[in-house]
Amino acid sequence: MEDLEKIKSNRLVLPAVLIICFAVLQAGISITGPVTKAELGRLLFFDRILSADRTVSCASCHLPEYAFSDTMVTSIGIGKQKGLRNTPSAMNLNLQRAFFWDGRSKTIEEQALVPIENATEMNLPIAEAVRRLQRSKRYSAWFRDVFHAPPSRENLAESLGAFERSLETSDTPFDNWKLNDDQDAVSESAKKGFVLFNGKGKCVQCHFGADFTTNEFRNIGLFNGLNLNDSGRSAITGKQEDIGKFKVGSLRNIAVTAPYMHNGMFKTLEDVIDFYNNPAGIVSNAINRDELLSGSLNLTEGEKKDLKAFMVALTDKRFEYLTRKH
Amino acid sequence: MKISVLLAVVFSAVAFCNVDDEIIGIWQLKLPGNVTGTINYRKDSTFVTSVNNKIFTSGKYTYKDKVMTFVEDNGCRSNDGNYMTGKYRINFFAPDSIEFELVYDSCGGRRKDLNQLKLGRPGKDKIK
């Protein structure tokens, strides 16, 4: 009888092992463990071990399927708390010079640790996060393999930063059109939109560069000290002239990272274009608005569609399926 | 007689080589932070620049007697809305290594980036 029980339990082992292996492979985890800092960072990015009650990971707000942004106006963090600002995309950070809407972090590595400690996001002091990783046999082994050292604040930041640095996208219809001279890569409407973007729309004056951002801080007229009272960059610099300024965001994958702006107030690209077309018509009492946005652009409905078509053409191939509804 | 015929053939071949084609193709530079910039001068007088395989600028150029004149279709514009022309001498300090020398460019940001910029052909480690 005992032999029969042994045989039965042994028969269950192989299927159980196969199921576990399948689950591990589906999760994208290497059975042999991470080999690079970016691979280790990827594991950490998706792991809820980095939040106080183990319910939230970085990926809870930076959704991979939406270019690592969120679809909510502001994200929900630990204990179902609402964040204060819209979650920006964590993609295409390599060429940026400051991080967060107010630019409070100077490097990706510095930025990576902030949400972990933030009380409304993951609420876990870094020292405690490091202790957890050190107590974990898996993470201790992985950090040893990658860094030849136990988990620490520095290599936690480095691995998360390495993963975020790997999130670059450049396989878009627009890049294909320009770099490969493929005239069929974008629509005629998108081509007209490109001309508008650089001309009548004046978009290029802030959205210039490989990631369509000059990396500056600008006040586009979304601060009035009343219902729009996030003072942005000035809270970091203490300078009056920085009131209402926020980091100019990248436009890569913009079609899949709604809602828009630091407060998520614009739900669609059409809303954004309507705002830029007539900023004072949307926010009449803005304080310290940039002179670039002092008047109306007088865009026709056709021109607005063309501008949108151009922005949709900045979507990486991996997210193109999301733009089919545009 | 044979030598003079040979010399005539060589000189003729050189004369018919279009020296201005020397700029055609891709030029590259490596920057700190694992950044690679490229300029691709095409035969149809258009060019594109990229940073880490992402399109950066594009436009039209002419190249004659080692002077590059170009206008971008994005970026530098004057207050009256016209695109600003840039003019640079291209100094070849090796057949596959060039340096931009400012002749004229009213676009301050571009002037700062381009003047004395050195690039090489991809795959060659000539630029330090």
pLDDT in tens, B4-39: 554 444 444 444 445 578 999 999 999 888 899 999
**How far is it, in rounded angstroms, from Cα A236 to Cα A222?**
18
Task: Tell me which of A22-26, A112-116, A190-194, B85-89 is least confident.
Answer: A22-26
**Mean pLDDT for the stretch of residues A182-204:** 96
Query: Where residue B128 falls among pLDDT bands split at 50, 70, 90?
Result: very low
Which residues of B fall within a CB distance of 8 Å from A208? 74-75
Query: Where residue A211 falls among pLDDT bands split at 50, 70, 90?
Result: very high
Hey, are the CB atoms on A208 and B74 less than 8 Å from each other?
A: yes
If you measure CA to CA, which chain A residue comes closest to B44? Answer: A181
The model scores a pTM over 0.95 = no
Which residues of A fall within a CB distance of 8 Å from B53? 170, 175, 179
Nearest by CB to A179, from B55, B77, B81: name it: B55
DSSP state of A102: T
Task: Tell me which of A127-136, A138-147, B55-64, B81-90 is least confident.
Answer: B81-90
Residue A6 clears pLDDT 60, i.e. is over it: no
Nearest by CB to B54, from A175, A181, A199: name it: A175
Percent of chain A's residues with pLDDT above 90: 87
Check: CB of residue A60 under 8 Å from CB of residue A74.
Answer: no
> How high does pLDDT run on average in chain B?
84
Residue A325 clears pLDDT 90, i.e. is over it: no
Stronger pLDDT, B62 or A15, i.e. the higher one: B62
Residue A68 clears pLDDT 80, i.e. is over it: yes
Q: Best residue in B42, B55, B76, B112 to probe A by mutation, most A CBs within 10 Å? A: B55
**Cross-strand partners of B102:** B88
Report the amino acid identity of residue B108. Answer: G
Percent of chain A's residues with pLDDT above 70: 90
If you measure CA to CA, which chain B residue comes closest to A211? Answer: B54
Q: How many other CB atoms are found less than 10 A from the CB of residue A177? A: 21
Stronger pLDDT, A29 or A42, i.e. the higher one: A42
What B100-103 contacts at long range (C-beta under 8 Å, 24+ apart), as own/partner pairs, is B100/B68, B103/B67
Residue A133 clears pLDDT 60, i.e. is over it: yes
> How high does pLDDT run on average in chain A?
93
| pLDDT tens readout for residues B71-126 | 999 878 877 778 899 999 999 999 899 999 999 998 998 999 999 999 999 975 44
Contact residues, chain B to chain A, C-beta under 8 Å:
33-35, 40, 42, 46, 48, 50-56, 58, 73-75, 77, 81
pLDDT at residue number B80: 75
Nearest to A169 by CA among A313, A306, A293: A313
Check: CB of residue A220 under 8 Å from CB of residue A280.
Answer: no
Which 136-175 residues of chain A touch chain B by CB within 8 A? 168, 170, 174-175
Output Rg (C-alpha) for chain A, integer angstroms: 23
Going by DSSP bridges, is the β-strand pair B85-94/B97-105 parallel, antiparallel, or unpaired? Answer: antiparallel
**Mean pLDDT for the stretch of residues A40-59:** 98
Task: Tell me which of A28-42, A236-250, A263-277 is least confident.
Answer: A28-42
Check: CB of residue B50 under 8 Å from CB of residue B38.
Answer: yes
Hey, are the CB atoms on A208 and B55 less than 8 Å from each other?
A: no
**How far is it, in rounded angstroms, from Cα B65 to Cα B125?**
26
Tokens 């630019």 map to which residue?
Answer: A103
Query: Where residue A117 falls among pLDDT bands split at 50, 70, 90?
Result: very high
Tokens 């002092």 map to which residue?
Answer: A294
CB contact A94 to B (< 8 Å): yes
CB contact A197 to B (< 8 Å): yes
Residue A7 clears pLDDT 70, i.e. is over it: no
**How far is it, in rounded angstroms, from Cα A293 to Cα A266?**
17
Q: Best residue in B74, B79, B113 to probe A by mutation, most A CBs within 10 Å? A: B74
Output Rg (C-alpha) for chain B, integer angstroms: 17
Hey, are the CB atoms on A211 and B50 less than 8 Å from each other?
A: no
CB contact A179 to B (< 8 Å): yes
The b-or-e profile of A279-318 (16+ CB within 10 A means b, else e) is beebbeebbbbbeebeeebebeeebbbbbbbbbbbbbbee
**Mean pLDDT for the stretch of residues A108-113:** 98
What ranges make up the beta strands (E) of A44-135? Answer: none
Task: Tell me which of A111-120, A138-147, A264-273, A314-323 is least confident.
Answer: A314-323
pLDDT at residue number B91: 96
